[in-house]
Amino acid sequence: MFNQDTISRFQNIETPFYYYNMEVLGQTLAACHAASSKYGFHVHYAMKANFNPKVLEMIQSFDFGADCVSGGEVMAAIEHGFGKEKVVFAGVGKSDKEINAALDVDIFCFNVESVQELVIINDLAKAKNKTAGVAIRINPNVDAHTHHYITTGLDENKFGINTWQLGDVAETLRGCKNLQFLGIHFHIGSQITDLEVYRSLCIRINEMQDWFEDRGFKVKVLNAGGGLGVDYYNPDTNTIANFEGYFKVFKDFLNVKPGQEVHFELGRALVAQCASLISRVLYVKNGQKKNFLVLDAGMTELMRPMLYQAYHEVENISRQWAVGSGQLSSPGVGRSESSEDKPTHPSPLTTHYDVVGPICESTDCFRKDVPLPESFRGDLIAVRTAGAYGEVMASGYNLRTKAESVYSE
């Protein structure tokens, strides 16, 4: 829901653009901070979800660490003030250049995804006469019950080290004098809304830490990764993810020993709700079978619906402020946000549209059969809950210009 002033402001901005509500971001970060600190848990922000500089700045101000997946992210984390002792680096394909760069800035920990990678990090650290902190990313074979494209913790996934290889890991660690074993790392997938899944993960983490401790390895860090999902269906009412419930599962089921630290890597849950993609209707195509709203934004700006069949609310914000029974108002005509300004939705003029983008691909469709007020060329359309894996996954396909970012005032 956007107030009238915000919609008026949008009228003068070239579309498409990402709109960041910094107040929502601040509230989300505060909620996560409060819920995690209650148990002394450490949260690293998964930068891949959104590395917009202003977003990073605000996240860093809440004292979160950074979870990075490339040399570029490691550098951006340091540049944006994340303490090097709070930077972790995961990824199945870390290049030598990236490992060297991370060694140079003395990051806290490499989350290592293969036995071969352990040896490479050891060699590179030795060449620099340094010791690299490492955690072993274990593939726990726990089903996250999410879309298969964003599931990462099953035996068939490329991520992490399978449990049958742990003997090899232990032996390699013993021979690698330039590595300091810090602990174990897991990440089973993204957009997880069933908290039961995390209970199963806790059981696996408990087993795995015992495995290492039984073999003489002190496990200092238990890193449970990220994945907490958000409510894409209610962008206004459920703007804060269930941080309380999420951390409580770990409090209740993780076997945390004295001196151990529990780490998390949340991305989506921190940033998804704070942004919307704002675009304009270019054309309304009324066909015999379908009505299409052709927007000036498409899969080049937000790829999630096309790549994962992800659901995002789509709203015609030029026509959301209706007065009385279905009378539609124009945006920005001097009305303030008051209790009378309740949207009456759906309006009697509701039409079903396939909301599509301008890109030359049939999959370039945000949603099919969306009930919307009758819409016209120039109307502003908001695709909600686009703060995570939105702007950062934009592409230049069709030689598109990158959408600008606009922030709440």
The residues of the shown chain that bind ligand LLP, judged by CB under 6 A, are 46, 48-49, 67, 90, 150, 187, 190-191, 225-228, 265-269, 304, 308, 388-389
Least separation in angstroms between residue 351's CB and ligand LLP is: 29
Least separation in angstroms between residue 56's CB and ligand LLP is: 15
Which residue, 126 or 145, has its beta carbon nearer to ligand LLP? 145
Least separation in angstroms between residue 197's CB and ligand LLP is: 12
**CA-to-CA separations, 385 to 24, 61, 108, 239, 279, in angstroms, rounded:** 11, 22, 32, 9, 14
Which residue, 150 or 240, has its beta carbon nearer to ligand LLP? 150
Least separation in angstroms between residue 151's CB and ligand LLP is: 10
At residue 328, φ and ψ (nearest 5 deg) are -95, 135
Which residue, 69 or 372, has its beta carbon nearer to ligand LLP? 69
Q: Do residues 302 and 366 lie in contact, with contact meaning Cβ atoms separated by under 8 Å?
A: yes
Which residue, 158 or 352, has its beta carbon nearer to ligand LLP? 158
Which residue, 66 or 124, has its beta carbon nearer to ligand LLP? 66
Which residue, 16 or 153, has its beta carbon nearer to ligand LLP? 153
The DSSP code sequence of 274-331 is GEEEEEEEEEEEE-SS-EEEEES--TTT--HHHHH-----EEETTS--EETTTEEPPT
Can you read off the two tokens belonging to residue 59? 């996240």
Burial of 229 (0-12, 13-18, 19+ CB in 10 A): buried
Least separation in angstroms between residue 186's CB and ligand LLP is: 9
Q: Do residues 276 and 384 lie in contact, with contact meaning Cβ atoms separated by under 8 Å?
A: yes
Helical pair 22-37 and 53-61, crossing angle rounded to 10 deg? 30
